[in-house]
Structure 1
């Protein structure tokens, strides 16, 4: 479960919001949650990808606020404890590519590069004034005494002397873009703000030390590495290996108005979730904005996706999506699959999907189900299917829809109709 979207209110109550939601999320099958970046950003209302201080989780008065957009550190700790109590692992969103909101400028030599080909210089080296001095005065050295200067970065996007926006590569001994990054724009090491130089020993030491600290400060169960294609694959390998040696296991960008905006036709969203939640492949992630609705956009998107049926699909994964899978991908516009269950989760399910007209599919669920009555847990088909003596059923599906069929007497079948609380903003 992705536990945020771009337009969650900047009211410093989101950790409380998630804490309230955790028990009901666990009930419908969530076992891990990806939370937003919880470190102090350059803007108190920012999402957190504009990271200022990794070591400030909403504890120190910096950048105009003690709390982050999501809440103060004590709310974060309480939410994490509740997650632990109900059995939901928390995945931390980790921003290690850059820093933003520097406290002061410094003067240093840099070369302006072509934004479309960052390997190509378009000016000789010159003295520029860049925002690269990070003092973290509000924290006063607690947890880490490290302060950042221009030698800890390899690129900036603002020359304060000229008041000019451009991409500058910082000059110096052994200063260059990382070579083992995406080759978009020639070299995609630089993304935004003050770009960290992961070859610098002090930078590496501070990040590695932070990774140990965050794991002892909070009971997180994993990390998501943001902007991974923008920094050295070798550094990422070293970072992950360091985490493995010290404790850890193991999207908002596509919502309307964001950088990778992808509009999904409403009828297809429940189909897509059915495919990722109920099939055997992969590790599905549910988006906060689909479960609770999106803020700050069209009214049509403010309501939960899938006509409110997403919690049912999530709980169906928890109750029935086990065991061997058989696919019925024999027609272009109507597909189906069966999950046969296991010894401990024996009920199984049959799923049928149409992207055109109402239709049906004959599928084998097993002779042990002979004579059983199966119904659609989504209630988009109101018929009852009787499993025949050979173990087959003829399962209908509405036009441009999905139906998920289970034994009407299956464990948990009645609880699927229980209302799910989507009014998460009523604190």
Structure 2
């Protein structure tokens, strides 16, 4: 990971289904690098069960990166294999690392049915059987007729899975079925008694053939794309022991550092600590509790106690393995985990993840570029915060270094200073308020120094005293980023544009 590196999630759930994303990225890579983005988390690049419209989480053929005519399209939602590889090359040429979204929990859209004996279990307690085993018909035979044996001759059958949620004999049958002689994995989240099953055809990671094929695919993917790491989907539903072995195998094959971050969706810090422990620190985790703190703070306005904004978070308690974020494709409006961070609070949230020393921050595509989309009769507009994020990225690149002094002593007004290091001696001061604004004395270790607010929310400078303390200010419901300078310099000049 690059020091003061910043990741961007370069997609959202409603990214256009016109195959343009890879080409767009190739065009934008140099721009993003200049702004301070050092890594991109790209969406699942392989063919999903709905072909060119699939976001990618309903994975069908992991070997089809937009190359074969399958599921009524050659390209994926984001483009063709050729465009994908060109986008990766453009990003890496700009100095940006690429993290691929990996979906290994399930497969969907099987090519043929198989009859198998299975036992129905309850959705809210997968350990509770709802009746006797019976024969069901399931889409568990994956033959990939459009690809054939190219890259892999492996064909999936029912015994490579442990459970499904469909029965082609009766499409009104919505039960979860545990397949014959199968058992749910034990080293998964214990919610619902056992949260191994999430959707579709759930991979049986205790099956040697399944593990072998997934490992061979991972090696092929690394050799084909030359990615720099992984975003691992739905890890709470997958054997933790499997991921320990899989990540070890991928790193051994690559013979280089491979970053990994897991999506363990749980607003409970102890659960995240346990997962980090059982996986031996092999992957970072998204800081889900921090996201929910942002969500709650944005909904409560000035009634939220900002002194507690970092409480119970990975950023606070396990910062070296925390990937911090404000929103993502699952939390955005109309999605499964919708927990919106209101627009007014997003500059404060981004300042918290981008300008502190803890965590590895991730910027969300619609928060940067904005987004408009419709779904289920709703019209949604997500505001662009590019101007604020650009300021924070600039400050992160040039000023956010060295020791950190925190001033979390007022429920409506918090701040911190970064004191700089040998290569970046200037430092900065950050002050934010979710209420009426105010002033706070903070130590900078820069005596008799003039500081200006990069956000330009406050025009008047602050001059520190003889021992390096300054009385910094911010307006209500906003954040100010104070950096030292001899005279006022318009921000566009600082960026060199």
Q: Decide: shared fold, TM above 0.5.
A: yes
Note if 1:301 corresponds to 2:308. Answer: no
User: Residue 180 of structure 1 aligns with which residue?
Assistant: 187
Matches for 1:39-50 after TM superposition, within 5 Å: 39-43=46-50, 44-50=52-58
Q: Contact 1:355–1:400 (CA<8 Å) still a contact in 2?
A: yes
User: Residue 394 of structure 2 aligns with which residue?
Assistant: 315
Q: CA deviation at 1:255?
A: 0.5
Q: CA deviation at 1:387?
A: 2.5
User: Residue 207 of structure 2 aligns with which residue?
Assistant: 200
Q: Which runs of 5+ in 1 are unaligned?
A: 421-427
RMSD over aligned CA atoms reads 1.9
Distance 2:441 2:400 in 1: 19
- Could you say if the C-alpha distance between residues 263 and 419 of structure 1 is closer, same or farther in structure 2, counting changes exceeding 3 Å? farther
- Could you say if the C-alpha distance between residues 273 and 256 of structure 1 is closer, same or farther in structure 2, counting changes exceeding 3 Å? same
How many pairs are equivalent? 415
Note if 1:258 corresponds to 2:335. Answer: yes
- Could you say if the C-alpha distance between residues 309 and 416 of structure 1 is closer, same or farther in structure 2, counting changes exceeding 3 Å? farther
- Could you say if the C-alpha distance between residues 23 and 232 of structure 1 is closer, same or farther in structure 2, counting changes exceeding 3 Å? same
Q: Contact 1:22–1:86 (CA<8 Å) still a contact in 2?
A: yes
Q: CA deviation at 1:366?
A: 1.8
CA offsets 1:290-327 (integer angstroms, 9 cap, x no match): 00112315777343037x31121122111111111111
Note if 1:361 corresponds to 2:370. Answer: no
Matches for 1:12-411 after TM superposition, within 5 Å: 12-43=19-50, 44-163=52-171, 164-172=173-181, 175-247=182-254, 248-250=257-259, 251-297=328-374, 301-305=381-385, 308-367=387-446, 369-370=447-448, 372-409=449-486
CA offsets 1:230-253 (integer angstroms, 9 cap, x no match): 011111111111112112511211
CA offsets 1:72-131 (integer angstroms, 9 cap, x no match): 011111110011111110111000000011111111111111111111111211111001
- Could you say if the C-alpha distance between residues 299 and 109 of structure 1 is closer, same or farther in structure 2, counting changes exceeding 3 Å? closer
Q: Which runs of 5+ in 2 are unaligned?
A: 1-7, 260-327
What is the TM-score with the length of structure 2 in the denominator?
A: 0.80
Q: Contact 2:163–2:179 (CA<8 Å) still a contact in 1?
A: yes
- Of structures 1 and 2, the one with the larger relative CO (CA 8 A, separation 6+) is 1
Larger radius of gyration: 1
